[in-house]
Amino acid sequence: MTADAQAAFASYQAESLEAIAGALSEDALEAVRVEFLGKKRGRLKDLQSLLGQATPEERPVLGKVFNEVRSEVESALEARQSELAVPEVAVAAVDVTLPGPRPVVGRRHPITRTMDDFKDIVGRMGFSVATGPELEDDHHNFVALNIPPVHPARDPLENFYLATASVGRADGDAAVLMRSQTSTVQIRVMEQTAPPLRIVSLGRCYRPDTIDATHHCMFHQMEGLVVDEGITMADLKTVLKHFATAFLGDDVEVRFRPSFFPFTEPSVEVDVLWRDRWLELGGAGMVDPNVFGEVGYDPERVTGFAFGLGIERFCMMRYQITDIRRFFENDVRFLTQF
Ligand code: DAH
């Protein structure tokens, strides 16, 4: 009797553990539970009746085995229940098709941040963003911008030339330099696009200036160019006033002072009155007909305005930075403030 009962216990144990491990869903596991542990018709009841048939001497031994088998099967069932429950909870809580949170890795440099803000503002005024190379040829940096072969702006002491052999000669087109202004991009865009145009270009410029609190040999400009029929200086002033007001957040005043640039006629310096001080922002003017001639535009049909603004200056005003050198020292104590 004892041997039969023990064999029955063993096969119950083996079969139930196998069925528990093989259950692949909570429903399947529930069916296994009913079959092996169910109070009414479960197979555990058959084992219990074997216990009932045992002699009083056999009963304590068999009872101990019975209890051990039952509790092992019960724990295996519980463990499997929690295994099967985990993935369902996880699927409900995490939608893996959603974009994840943006990782916080580093920060945007204040100049990059300012350029992004500039693009947002002028983007709302219908400007698109153009780019051009930082390593330029003489034609785009000077000739096409109406800067004649002998002109102080071409001086080797004012520019970073990479090949100086042809500077100042009639075939000066061969010279290559780090661009000294973003006005080069005006030419590149007009060469490739018919009017009307409304573009900005933001980027680095290079000049061998002595470095101090307000000058650096590398700096950033935003160039703007609008060409269409009937464009006037009033359009220029409106755009710059909207722009300065949007960036500085106050209703600022913009003022023009007469100036000279070879590529604009008339030309102006642009100042902004912000918190009771006039600050210089850059140059601007109406595109010189000679520039239109260089790129094949008809100056009898279209007019246009252009501007070139110093990005560092805006950024320094906005964030009250007093030394331009801070931007390029890569000191994290400075950079993490933005
Ligand atoms: N390129 C000039 C500079 O670097 C700034 C400038 C003046 C740009 C007048 C313009 C302009 O487009 O019309 O000093």
pLDDT at residue 3, as a whole number: 81
pLDDT at residue 295, as a whole number: 97
pLDDT at residue 92, as a whole number: 63
CA–CA separation, 306 and 195 (whole Å): 14
Q: What is the distance in A from the centroid of ligand 1 to the CA of 210? A: 20
Nearest CA to ligand 1 atom 12: 307
Question: If you write DSSP's letter for every residue of 299-329 in order, what string do you get?
Answer: TTT-EEEEEEEEHHHHHHHHHT---GGGGGS
pLDDT in tens, 53-69: 888 888 888 889 889 99
Q: What is the distance in A from the centroid of ligand 1 to the CA of 262? A: 9
Q: What is the distance in A from the centroid of ligand 1 to the CA of 249? A: 24
pLDDT at residue 91, as a whole number: 57
Q: No. of H helices and E strands in the chain?
A: 11, 10
Counting from 1 in the atom list of ligand 1, the atom nearest the Cα of 287 is 13
pLDDT in tens, the chain (338 residues): 578 888 888 899 999 999 999 999 989 999 999 999 988 878 888 888 888 888 888 888 888 988 999 999 999 999 999 988 865 555 567 778 888 887 777 889 999 999 999 999 999 999 999 999 999 999 999 999 999 988 999 998 999 998 655 555 545 456 899 999 999 999 999 999 999 999 999 999 999 999 999 999 999 999 999 999 999 999 999 999 999 999 998 889 999 999 999 999 999 999 999 889 999 999 999 999 999 999 999 999 999 999 999 999 999 999 999 999 999 999 999 999 98
Nearest CA to ligand 1 atom 5: 308
- Residues having CB closer than 6 A to ligand 1 are 181, 183, 223, 261, 264, 282-285, 306-308
Q: Which of 261, 265, 286, 303 to mutate to test the pocket of ligand 1 (most atoms within 8 A of CB)?
A: 261
Q: CA angle 110-113-114, nearest 5°?
A: 85
Counting from 1 in the atom list of ligand 1, the atom nearest the Cα of 308 is 8
| C-alpha distances in Å from residue 36, one per residue of 9, 47, 49, 69, 73 | 12, 10, 14, 11, 9
Counting from 1 in the atom list of ligand 1, the atom nearest the Cα of 283 is 7
Nearest CA to ligand 1 atom 8: 308
Counting from 1 in the atom list of ligand 1, the atom nearest the Cα of 221 is 4
Q: Which of 307, 312, 313 to mutate to test the pocket of ligand 1 (most atoms within 8 A of CB)?
A: 307
Q: What is the distance in A from the centroid of ligand 1 to the CA of 140? A: 14
pTM of the predicted model as reported, rounded to 2 decimal places: 0.69
Q: What is the distance in A from the centroid of ligand 1 to the CA of 203? A: 13
| Cross-strand bridge partners of residue 225 | 199, 306
Secondary structure class of 52 (helix, strand, coil): helix
Residues 6+ apart with CB under 8 A from 205: 178, 179, 180, 181, 182, 218, 219, 220, 221
